[in-house]
């Protein structure tokens, strides 16, 4: 594993890569408030062993990348999509297979639509179609929405409160197929918090705007699309993943039975196999 800080256009983006740089690249884009560490290292290594140069990175306001004061962030979804290209440029990569999760999946859709020449294939995990009316689809569960609303009373500058809430959040996001390991989650989240210097700025992700230029354009996506989605996802029920796959010509859907809004250890082999099959097809 190698680490590199990409500096471009006044933004610093921390990246890590796995595997041989001569192999076809995979770029991983993570979701809201989540640093690149939420892409498990073992999963990254499985993809690298499968014949890819794998790159993960900290989105703005997470990990070791540029952070901003809490409030209205001076960037948009479109800027975060451009960050993905900055990472590719910093690594000297013309085009990559893009794998993206949750909010990252929405960013990845923007990248695939705005810069089709940079995306060899696209894999969307636990996300929802952008520029599409999803009001008719099942929405986030009431239990999760009640939990999310409680996040408004958390003092995100307090390590105990912030990590405690995120641990509970991870439990809420877990599916029914596998037991939730609270102790392991707490150890990871506390380490991630300390590496990031706190989670306060990461809450800026919930204030982002942009992506409007892609309204009604998903059917134009040129990159071969694979959607991976847990059937017990409490944020984006699996119907969101199905809608994305159905909207993009040739889109394919892999359902993770009992999976939540998560990358559970017991599903890594299946997730990696699906991605590797997609990137080689």
Q: What confidence score (pLDDT) does residue 72 get?
A: 83
Longest Cα–Cα distance in the chain: 48
186 in helix, strand or coil?
A: helix
User: Whose CA is closest to 127, among 200, 33, 32, 51?
Assistant: 32
Q: What confidence score (pLDDT) does residue 138 get?
A: 97
Q: What confidence score (pLDDT) does residue 85 get?
A: 98
Domain segments of the chain: what residues?
2-280
Sequence-separated (6 or more) residues with CB below 8 Å from residue 92 = none
Among 261, 264, 267, 278, which one carries the catalytic annotation?
261
Among 102, 126, 196, 201, which one carries the catalytic annotation?
102
Q: What confidence score (pLDDT) does residue 214 get?
A: 79
**Architecture of the domain defined by 2-280:** 3-Layer(aba) Sandwich (3.40)
Segment 195-249, tens digit of pLDDT:
999 999 999 999 988 767 778 899 999 999 999 999 999 999 999 999 999 999 9
Give the integer Cα–Cα distance in Å for 42 and 277.
18
Q: What is the mean pLDDT of each run of 10 residues along the chain (281 residues)?
A: 93 98 98 97 98 98 96 92 98 98 97 97 98 95 95 94 98 96 98 97 90 85 98 98 98 98 98 97 72
Q: What confidence score (pLDDT) does residue 1 get?
A: 81
Are 279 and 52 contacting, i.e. CB atoms less than 8 angstroms apart? yes
Q: What confidence score (pLDDT) does residue 99 get?
A: 98
The pTM (predicted TM-score) of the whole model is 0.96
CB atoms within 10 A of CB 276: 18
Sequence-separated (6 or more) residues with CB below 8 Å from residue 157 = 198, 200
Among 233, 240, 267, 278, which one carries the catalytic annotation?
233
Q: What confidence score (pLDDT) does residue 2 get?
A: 86
Give the integer Cα–Cα distance in Å for 31 and 29.
7
**Is residue 233 annotated as part of the catalytic site, yes or no?**
yes
């Amino acid at each position: 594993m190698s680490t590199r800080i990409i500096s471009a256009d006044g933004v610093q983006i921390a990246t890590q890569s796995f595997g041989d740089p001569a192999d076809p690249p995979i770029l991983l884009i993570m979701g809201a408030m989540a640093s690149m560490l939420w892409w498990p290292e073992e999963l990254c290594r499985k993809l690298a062993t499968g014949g890819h140069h794998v790159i993960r990175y900290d989105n703005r306001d997470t990990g070791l990348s540029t952070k901003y004061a809490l409030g209205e962030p001076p960037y948009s979804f479109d800027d975060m999509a451009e960050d993905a290209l900055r990472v590719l440029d910093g690594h000297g990569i013309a085009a990559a297979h893009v794998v993206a999760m949750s909010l990252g999946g929405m960013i990845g859709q923007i990248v695939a639509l705005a810069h089709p020449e940079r995306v060899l294939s696209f894999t969307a995990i636990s996300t929802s179609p952008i520029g599409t009316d999803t009001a008719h689809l099942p929405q986030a569960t009431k239990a999760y929405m009640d939990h999310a609303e409680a996040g408004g009373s958390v003092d995100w500058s307090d390590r105990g409160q912030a990590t405690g809430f995120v641990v509970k959040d991870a439990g809420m996001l877990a599916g029914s197929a596998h037991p939730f390991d609270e102790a392991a989650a707490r150890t990871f989240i506390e380490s991630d918090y300390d590496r990031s210097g706190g989670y306060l700025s990461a809450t800026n992700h919930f204030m982002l705007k942009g992506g409007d230029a892609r309204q009604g354009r998903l059917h134009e996506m040129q990159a071969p699309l694979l959607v991976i989605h847990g059937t017990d996802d409490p944020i984006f029920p699996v119907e969101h993943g199905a809608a994305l796959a159905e909207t993009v010509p040739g889109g394919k859907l892999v359902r993770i039975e009992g999976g939540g809004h998560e990358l559970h250890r017991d599903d890594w082999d299946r997730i990696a196999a699906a991605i590797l099959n997609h990137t080689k097809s």
